[in-house]
Amino acid sequence: MNQQQRSALLHSSSLFPPPPGVKLSYGTAGFRADASLLESTVFRVGILAALRSIQTGSVIGLMITASHNQVSDNGVKIADPSGGMLTQLWEPFADAIANAPDPNSLLQLLDDFVKKENITLEGGPAARVLLGRDTRPSGASLVEAAKQGITCITGGTAIDVGVLTTPQLHWMVRAKNKGVEASEHHYYDQIVTSFSYLMDNIPRENSSKDVNDKLIVDGADGVGGEKLEKLKSSLKYLSIDVRNYGDGVLNEGVGADYVQKEKVVPRGFGPSDAGIRCASLDGDADRLVYFSVLSNSNKIDLVDGDKILSLFALFLKEQLRILDDKANTSSYKASLGVVQTAYANGASTEYLKQLGLEVVLTPTGVKYLHEKAAEYDIGIYFEANGHGTILFSETFLSWLENINNELSSTSKGSDQHKAASNLLAVSKLINQAVGDALSGLLLVEAILQHMGWSIQKWNELYQDLPSRQLKVKVVDRTAVITGNAETVVVSPVGIQEAIDAEIAKYTKGRCFVRPSGTEDVVRVYAEASTQEAADSLAHSVMVIVHQFLWF
C-alpha cells in the first residue's frame, strides 16, 4: 500500500469513528444494528467491497437494509460477483475491520489483509461497487458513508442505484458481471416477459374457476410493496391489490416475518378478505409467504416457504417428466434436488420424499442452502420463513436451449416443447442470485393458474405438523455447538442425550436447539402430533437448555 493510499485511509476513517463499546458481527446476513450506530461500519464495509471488487476484477454489490427489523434499525451486506452472498472466507475479516478501535489499527488490518490476499492496489483493475438501499430513512446517509469507504480506495467507483429490493441489487450485480443489461428496467422486463410466457403456455382446460386472478399483497410498508405497486399494471392475467406499500410504518404489524411468526392478518387486512389469496413480502422483499384469512377472524391459514417449495418442486418435476417422455431427444438426466433446513416442517420433508425427490438439510442461513442447491442441475431451496429460489446449472440450461430449439422446429406447440420452454421461462423468471419475493410471487401465481388450484387446494398438499418455537436467554450462546445441519447438539456434552430422552416421549416428536445468528438467544424448535405435545416438548427442552447453559 503506497503512502498516498495510507493517508487517504487514515484521513477518511478518522471521520467515521466507531461507536464506543459496540461489538458487531457480520452474522448470517451482514451487519445489523440501530441505524445510529452504523456509519463507521458501513464506511468500512465500503472499503471491504472495494477490495473484494479489485481482488475478483468484478462488480460487487453493497446493500443497505435491515430486512424485517424495526424501522430504526439498519444493516449492510455485500453481494459477491455471482450475485450471491459475500464469500464466507471474508466474513472474519469483515468482523475484524468493523471492530477495529481506531484509524491506525484499521489501517494495519487492511495492510495485512491486502498482502495476505495478494490484492493489487496499484496498476490493477479499479474497484466498482453497486450501492443499493431499502426505504429506511437512515439509508440515504449510510449510502454516503459507503461511498466514502469505496472511494477512499484509489480509483474506486461507487455506482448509486438508489432504492431497490435486496434481490434486485443481487440480480444487477450478477447481470453486470455476465455482461448483460443490468438496470432496474431490465429486471422488470425479464420477469414480466417470462411470467407472460408461462401464463400463455397454460393448458386451456386448466384455466378453471377454482383459481381466480385476484391476489392481495401485503408490502410490509417497504420497498417491495412500492415496487410491486408500479409493476402490477404490466402483469397480464393477474389483478393485484397491493396494501401497505409505504403509507405506514415499515414492518410494524406487517410483512412476511410478522405473518409467519404471529399467524395473524397484517395491518390493513381483515375478515372481509376471507378466502381470497393473499401474500406478504418482508421489508426488503427477499422473503415471501402466502396466507388466507379465516372467516370471521383475524387468524390466517399460513402457506409458508415449505409449501412454496413443494409447489415449485411438483411443477418442475412434472415438466421434467414430460420432457423425458420424448424418446428422440438426446437424453440428459437432470438432477433435481431440494434443500431445506431443520426448521422445515416434518410433514413437508415427508411429502417431498414421497414425491421421490432428494431432500437435503443444511444449517440455517441462505448462504448454506444456496451453496448446496448449486450442486444440482435444478436445485430448489427454501427456508420455512419464505426465503428461497431455484438454481439452474449452466450445463442443463444450455442443453435445454438446444432441445427447445430442436423441438420448436420439429414439434412446435407439443407438450414436450411447452415443457422445455416452461423450464427456460422459470429459469429467467426466478432470481438466480438470491431468494426474491417479487419473482417468487409471479412463479407461484403462474403455477397455481397452470394447476388450476385455489390457495386452499394448494394448502392441502399436506398438513403441517404442529410446532412451537421458543427463545432461551443464556449466559453464552456460543457454548452451543451443533452438528448434522443443526439437528444435534455436539457441545455441551450430555445435552443431546437429555433432549433425545424428551423427544422419545412424544408421537412424531422432533426437536432441536441452535444458537441464533441474529439475536443473543438459543432457539428451541419442537414438533409433535398435537399442538399441546409440541408446546410441552419445546418447554421441557427449554428447561434442559437452562440447566446446561445457565451457569
Q: Is 516 annotated as a binding residue?
A: yes
Of 306 and 383, CB closest to Mg ion: 383
In sequence order, what DSSP letters do the residues of 307-325 get, joined into one string?
HHHHHHHHHHHHHHHHHHT
Could you tell me the smallest distance in angstroms from the CB atom of residue 284 to Mg ion? Answer: 4
Binding site for ligand 16G (CB under 6 A): 28-29, 364-366, 383, 385, 387, 516-519, 523
Q: Is 325 annotated as a binding residue?
A: no
Q: Is 514 annotated as a binding residue?
A: yes
With cell 417470462, the residue in question is: 194
Tell me the Cα Rg of the chain: 24
Q: CA distances (Å), 166 to each of 66, 224, 352, 455, 508, in order?
A: 10, 9, 29, 27, 38
Q: CA distances (Å), 78 to each of 12, 97, 212, in order?
A: 21, 14, 39
Q: Is 330 annotated as a binding residue?
A: no
Q: Is 515 annotated as a binding residue?
A: yes
Could you tell me the smallest distance in angstroms from the CB atom of residue 388 to ligand 16G? Answer: 9
Of 286 and 436, CB closest to Mg ion: 286
Of 68 and 326, CB closest to Mg ion: 68
Q: Is 104 annotated as a binding residue?
A: no
Q: CA distances (Å), 306 to each of 3, 74, 415, 455, in order?
A: 54, 28, 28, 14
Taking the C-alpha atoms of residue 172 and residue 184, their distance in angstroms, rounded to an integer, is: 8
Could you tell me the smallest distance in angstroms from the CB atom of residue 429 to Mg ion? Answer: 20
Contacted by 349, from ligand 16G, Mg ion, none: CB < 5 to 8 Å by type? none
What secondary structure letter does DSSP report for 478? G
Contacted by 517, from Mg ion, ligand 16G, none: CB < 5 to 8 Å by type? ligand 16G
Could you tell me the smallest distance in angstroms from the CB atom of residue 157 to ligand 16G? Answer: 26
Contacted by 251, from ligand 16G, Mg ion, none: CB < 5 to 8 Å by type? none
Could you tell me the smallest distance in angstroms from the CB atom of residue 523 to ligand 16G? Answer: 5
Of 29 and 420, CB closest to ligand 16G: 29
Of 286 and 527, CB closest to Mg ion: 286
Contacted by 29, from Mg ion, ligand 16G, none: CB < 5 to 8 Å by type? ligand 16G
Taking the C-alpha atoms of residue 460 and residue 215, their distance in angstroms, rounded to an integer, is: 19
Q: Is 385 annotated as a binding residue?
A: yes
Taking the C-alpha atoms of residue 100 and residue 96, their distance in angstroms, rounded to an integer, is: 6
Contacted by 53, from ligand 16G, Mg ion, none: CB < 5 to 8 Å by type? none
* Whether 297 is catalytic: no
Q: CA distances (Å), 53 to each of 49, 58, 259, 432, 529, in order?
A: 6, 5, 38, 20, 51
With cell 409493476, the residue in question is: 231
Of 170 and 326, CB closest to ligand 16G: 170
User: Closest Cα to residue 248, out of 261, 266, 273?
Assistant: 266
Of 49 and 400, CB closest to ligand 16G: 49
Active-site residue among 12, 67, 82, 536? 67
Q: Is 207 annotated as a binding residue?
A: no
Contacted by 298, from Mg ion, ligand 16G, none: CB < 5 to 8 Å by type? none
Burial class (CB in 10 A: 0-12, 13-18, 19+), 2: exposed
Backbone φ and ψ for 201, nearest 5 degrees, come out as -85, 0
Terminal-residue alpha carbon distance, the chain: 47
Could you tell me the smallest distance in angstroms from the CB atom of residue 281 to Mg ion? Answer: 9
Backbone φ and ψ for 340, nearest 5 degrees, come out as -130, 175
Could you tell me the smallest distance in angstroms from the CB atom of residue 258 to Mg ion? Answer: 12
Contacted by 284, from ligand 16G, Mg ion, none: CB < 5 to 8 Å by type? Mg ion
Binding site for Mg ion (CB under 5 A): 67, 282, 284, 286
Position 440, amino acid: G
Q: What amino acid positions are annotated as catalytic residues?
A: 67
Q: Which residues are annotated as a binding site?
A: 67, 282, 284, 286, 383-385, 514-518, 523
Q: Which residues are annotated as a binding site for substrate?
A: 383-385, 514-518, 523
Q: Which residues are annotated as a binding site for Mg(2+)?
A: 67, 282, 284, 286
